[in-house]
Structure 1
Amino acid sequence: APPALLYLPDGSALPLPLEPPPGPTAAELLRRLQGALRLPPAAGDALALWLGSELLEVQLKPRHRPLRLVRHWPELLLRFSLGSPAAIAQDEPCLQLRRNVFFPKSRELELQEEELLRLLYEEAREQLKGGRYPVDPPEAAELGGLSCRLRLGPFEPDRHTELSLRPLLGELLPPGPPARWGALFRRSREPGPAQRLLEAFARAPGPEAPPAGLYRDFLRRCHALPGYGCAFFPGAIERPSGGLLARGGLRPVSVAVGLEGVTIIDPRQKHVLLSLTYPELCWELVGAVGQDGDPAGQEGDPTEPPQLWLEFDGDHEGAPVNRLLRVFSPQAELMSALIECCIELGGAAPPPEEQAPPPAGAAAPPPEAAGARGAPLRRQESVTRPRLQRLATIDYVREG
């Protein structure tokens, strides 16, 4: 059989010879990859194989056989995507090496091997560049400064200037939210992206810092970003019907599910709408294909995509209420399964003493709690602060 290409986080591809169908399992391929790249045993826990395309991304279980899944890819897209028949017919998945969703952040910071840390750094940087993690400009600049240090070497004032860094802005800084109309007519007093990047570069560790330490510093900062280490799913939520424009309808969202909880992100505005740890939420899958083969769940409508219902505590005019948010997505079944798996693995309630160091659990508490512990300043306009007022929830009081 011709070799398959397995894409690494840095964008390079590694040819992998495959046996005739059904082919090797994901666990077998990962072991071969560890040997080819001379990665330490911890790579088997930190990394996983993924199949991904524009329409669907799935982390493979160790027993999955990638070749078999590729053959059944159109069937998976029909079930878990909204792609048109033409798009599904042309879609081809890529086999990728990426971070394992089930790998705890605390263990990530214990890694010492430089090549493994580099692979994790490259994926985190690529996700930032793609705009998946909401991040405020000051923190984006600090991450960009570390990337400058790794890419260009130690800072040299005579050689590194705003002008020299400007061509690298697209590579080193994530895209920001669309500019508001008012901002287009105001002269901002804040430093521009190139100046912020240069200042952060100048603050980066000097020539004595080893690359492994720089990679670890970058990952530690990423741990505070909403969605880091999560699997992402496309979805939509209802818009509030009130307001001057009274737009209503559905708002596209990105749903990040990981070991610590669920985060709803506005992918266009690049900010958090809702962030919940597992102890703070209840969930229910509605409208998915039932185990007995019924076209929709007990309460589902076959003409609508499945829904993930998230219930959490809130208040209405000072009175405590239960809030229900409906997330519409053809991948709601995948979200629900991942939530259940993360809770079974113990991600819902880590010991409090393990949450004390910011690197190990900075993303787990709500942003308000994180700010109270001395994390980077969470301004009201921060993209990491939940915007509950932009959610259309069903509020009710549970009897008893």
Structure 2
Amino acid sequence: MEGDNCTFPSDLSDDHSQRGSVASSATLSRAQDVLVYVFGESAVHLTLEGLGSISVQELGRSVRETLQIPDSAQDAFAFWLCSPLLELQLKARHQPYKLCRQWPDLLYRFTEASEDDILQDEPYLQYRRNVFYPKSKELQIEDEGVLRLLFEEARSNILTGRYPCDPEHWAGLGALTLALEEGAGLDSQQSTAKIREKKLSSFVPAHVAVGSGGFFSTLRGKSSRQAELEQKLSEEYRKINTSRATAPEQRELLHQYLSMCHTLPYYGCAFFCGEIDKPVQGILQRGKRKAVSVGICLDGVYVMDVKEKHVLLGLRFSELSWDHSYPEEEGDSHILWLEFDGEEDGTPVNKLLKIYSKQAELMSGFIEFCVELKTATEGGAAAETGIEAGVSQEPAGQESSTRNGRGGRRGMLQRQGSVVCSRVHSLNTISYVDNGERQKRS
């Protein structure tokens, strides 16, 4: 499944390096040693012969043996080359050591990082969820060790805000975390004591634990907010044992946690960095941009506000067209274009969102591969569900409504209050009618 994926640029050879080496890297450069970081584990330390030429496929055998991952679940995980600047899932044929030496090339090509930051950045090898692994298969896993690895990764993404979620989500997930760590048999006083001992940041997203701050937050007092969160977690924890004769087993709790995460549409996404235009609210705000995270998975594309931790736009593949463009002049940006149906003063229009990112090429290729994979997997059912198989070549014009195989107009996106739902009204988009006429920027 991962052998032909698009998460790694296909035009970079494993044997090519232009800007030197990161041979000082503590993670991949030692002659016979390799550290593979795993969620919930400090690292898997392996001593291997011929590290410089070992492939991901060969390395995988050693890691799975060390972690005791059964063959039935081996496709659930993949190797990622990561740093604070870039994350890329590797293919089975890739050689991690050689790709580590190419890391500066990749950062120059796909990030806006300064030369100093690029020279200081060191990638590490991580073993984590395969972005192409279906959620339906994940819930069929019975091996507790494998479920624990998936849980630790999901938990990290919840706590860091990578997966935005509403109170009913983070409270329920936090309660399940407490049950997994301390058992499900604590009374109210004991559960509250454990939450205080381990701190709220172990159970709820960091921005929730800290709070939004501000004048009114100061008046209420930090202790009051903390007490409310502790009470909410304790109440959710008590529900776990409601109407049960016996306490749930660890495997059952892990399945419950992952099942709840699966209700978040961007669970399992690969994430990319970008910026979008802020809505114009006056002369002083012209040209300002907002940092966003773009999550892409087998189900669709999700644009998230990095600061506010909520979804700005969520589109299934049946609801979007896309394209990417390269800079035409010096100072221009790489752009990923997302086109979807909207409305202006009661008139149906096409809307375009511009995402500025040097990773636009990666994102476009990844979307295309996901669409093709989903189409191949679903076979004839793909046509009925309206999955789009083409790429819009002219995002602001031409008759794309039939050219891209939509089968008519896509359904309107509904604006809702949940952090999971789209906030189309807050986006600075370009609107136009079907004949390509530019209407206005909204």
CA distance in 1, matches of 2:376, 2:295: 15
Q: Does residue 128 in structure 1 map to residue 146 in structure 2? A: no
Match of 2:13 in 1: none
4+ aligned runs moved over 6 Å, structure 1: 188-191, 365-369
Match of 2:217 in 1: 184
CA distance in 2, matches of 1:98, 1:347: 25
Q: Structure 1 length normalisation: TM-score? A: 0.85
CA distance in 2, matches of 1:9, 1:185: 35
CA distance in 2, matches of 1:390, 1:204: 38
> Cα RMSD between the aligned structures?
2.8
Q: Does residue 383 in structure 1 map to residue 419 in structure 2? A: yes
The equivalent position to 1:234 in structure 2, one of 273, 289, 293, is 273
Match of 1:197 in 2: 233
Query: Quick check: which has more Rg, 1 or 2?
Result: 2
Match of 1:301 in 2: 329
1:1-400 to structure 2, matched below 5 A, reads 1-20=31-50, 22-157=52-187, 160-166=190-196, 167-176=198-207, 179=212, 181=214, 183-184=216-217, 192-205=228-241, 208-242=247-281, 246=285, 248-287=287-326, 296=327, 300-346=328-374, 380-399=416-435
- Report the more deviating stretch, 167-176 or 203-212: 203-212
Q: Given that residues 21 and 68 in structure 1 are in contact (C-alpha distance below 8 angstroms), is that contact kept between their aligned partners in structure 2? A: no
Secondary structure at 1:192's aligned position in 2? helix
Letter of the 2:323 counterpart: E
Offset at 1:161? 4.0
Q: Given that residues 265 and 299 in structure 2 are in contact (C-alpha distance below 8 angstroms), is that contact kept between their aligned partners in structure 1? A: no
**Runs of 5+ consecutive residues of structure 2 not aligned to the other structure:** 1-30, 386-409, 437-442
Offset at 1:183? 4.7
Letter of the 1:193 counterpart: L
Q: Given that residues 33 and 51 in structure 2 are in contact (C-alpha distance below 8 angstroms), is that contact kept between their aligned partners in structure 1? A: no
Offset at 1:244? 10
Q: Given that residues 258 and 342 in structure 1 are in contact (C-alpha distance below 8 angstroms), is that contact kept between their aligned partners in structure 2? A: yes
CA distance in 1, matches of 2:230, 2:37: 31
Letter of the 1:153 counterpart: G
Offset at 1:158? 6.1
Secondary structure at 1:345's aligned position in 2? helix
CA distance in 1, matches of 2:216, 2:431: 35
Identity among equivalent positions (%) equals: 42
Letter of the 2:142 counterpart: Q
Q: Given that residues 188 and 238 in structure 2 are in contact (C-alpha distance below 8 angstroms), is that contact kept between their aligned partners in structure 1? A: no
Letter of the 2:231 counterpart: Q
Q: Given that residues 306 and 329 in structure 1 are in contact (C-alpha distance below 8 angstroms), is that contact kept between their aligned partners in structure 2? A: yes
Match of 2:18 in 1: none
Q: Given that residues 261 and 348 in structure 1 are in contact (C-alpha distance below 8 angstroms), is that contact kept between their aligned partners in structure 2? A: no
Q: Given that residues 324 and 334 in structure 2 are in contact (C-alpha distance below 8 angstroms), is that contact kept between their aligned partners in structure 1? A: yes
Letter of the 1:136 counterpart: D
Offset at 1:185? 6.7
Letter of the 2:340 counterpart: F
Q: Given that residues 52 and 94 in structure 1 are in contact (C-alpha distance below 8 angstroms), is that contact kept between their aligned partners in structure 2? A: yes
Letter of the 1:55 counterpart: L
CA distance in 2, matches of 1:339, 1:238: 22
Letter of the 1:174 counterpart: P
CA distance in 1, matches of 2:261, 2:205: 13
Offset at 1:383? 1.1
CA distance in 2, matches of 1:133, 1:381: 17
CA distance in 1, matches of 2:97, 2:312: 38
**Runs of 5+ consecutive residues of structure 1 not aligned to the other structure:** 288-295, 356-364, 370-378
Offset at 1:264? 0.3
CA distance in 2, matches of 1:246, 1:304: 19
Q: Structure 2 length normalisation: TM-score? A: 0.77
After superposition, the Cα gap between the structure-2 partners of 1:168 and 1:244, relative to the gap in structure 1 and judged at 3 Å, is: farther
Match of 1:361 in 2: none
CA distance in 2, matches of 1:396, 1:11: 51
CA distance in 2, matches of 1:349, 1:8: 29
Letter of the 2:212 counterpart: A
Secondary structure at 1:346's aligned position in 2? helix
CA distance in 2, matches of 1:258, 1:389: 24
- Report the more deviating stretch, 26-35 or 254-263: 26-35
What's the CA shift string for 1:351-386, capped at 9, x where partnerless? 59xx9xxxxxxxxx99988xxxxxxxxx94321121
CA distance in 2, matches of 1:347, 1:58: 23
